[in-house]
Homo-oligomer: A and B are copies of this chain.
Amino acid sequence: MSRSKTPSTFHARVTVMPRRAVLDPQGRAIHQALKRLGFKQVEEVRAGKSFDLTLTAAGAEAAAAAVEEMCRRLLANPVIEDFAVELVDGAGDGRS
C-alpha cells in the first residue's frame, strides 16, 4: 500500500493574535466603538487575523507542520504575535 505517499487536500485555519503583553490599539479602538454603540458589557477586545489555507500534504501531521512553518516565516510575527493552527474537515465554508 503506497497510499501514504498520495498527497491529500487539507484545510487549515490559522489564527494570529497579538501577544498578551503587547499593546493592541486596533482592539482598543474597536472596544471604544462598541461602547459608543451601546455595548457597555464588553470588557476587552483583542484584534487579530485569520487565514484559511487549502494545501496538499502527505498526511495531517505534515500539513500542520507545513502551516506552522508558514506562520513562522510569513503569516505571524512571533515577536509580537501568537498563532494557532487548526486542521478543519471539509471545505471549511460551513460558517454562519
Contact = CB atoms under 8 A, between A and B. Distances in A.
A7 B76 CA distance: 35
B34 A70 contact: yes
A93 B30 CA distance: 20
A49 B48 contact: yes
A61 interface: no
A83 to B, nearest CB: 7
B49 A49 contact: yes
A44 to B, nearest CB: 4
Given A30-B74, A96-B82, A51 B46 contact: yes
Given A55-B41, A70-B34, A50 B96 contact: no
